[in-house]
Amino acid sequence: MLVCFRQFCYVFMTMSNQNPEQRARDRIDKQLNVCGWLIQDKNRVNLRAGIGVAVREYLTDAGVADYVLFVDGKPVGVIEAKREEEGI
């Protein structure tokens, strides 16, 4: 749904048409953004876009990671999302 007020338009996405993986990715993206990370897709990577860049579905030596975190263009961490019931 697209709602416009004066010069601003807001998109309201319904979560019901997303699968659990998409909903989890949306929540993780939001949390990373709040912490100051720039989120990028693996097909459009610019590690110099900011100090902290999180790249989705990044290929590592161990396989594809859900997110790889880069600071100043250097990898510093990996996020692997799991279902809440799986625990850590």
What is the band of 67 on the pLDDT scale with cuts at 50, 70, 90?
A: very high
Q: Is 28 a domain residue?
A: no
Q: Is 73 a domain residue?
A: yes
Q: Is 55 a domain residue?
A: yes
Q: Is the pLDDT of residue 52 over 50?
A: yes
Tell me the average pLDDT of the chain: 81
Look at residues 26, 59, 19 and name the one whose alpha carbon lies nearest to residue 43. 59
Q: Is 33 a domain residue?
A: no
Q: Is 88 a domain residue?
A: no
Number of domains into which the chain is organized:
1
3-state secondary structure the chain: CEEEECCEEEECCCHHHCCHHHHHHHHHHHHHHHCCCEEEECCCCCCCCCCEEEEEEEEECCEEEEEEEEECCEEEEEECCCCHHHCC
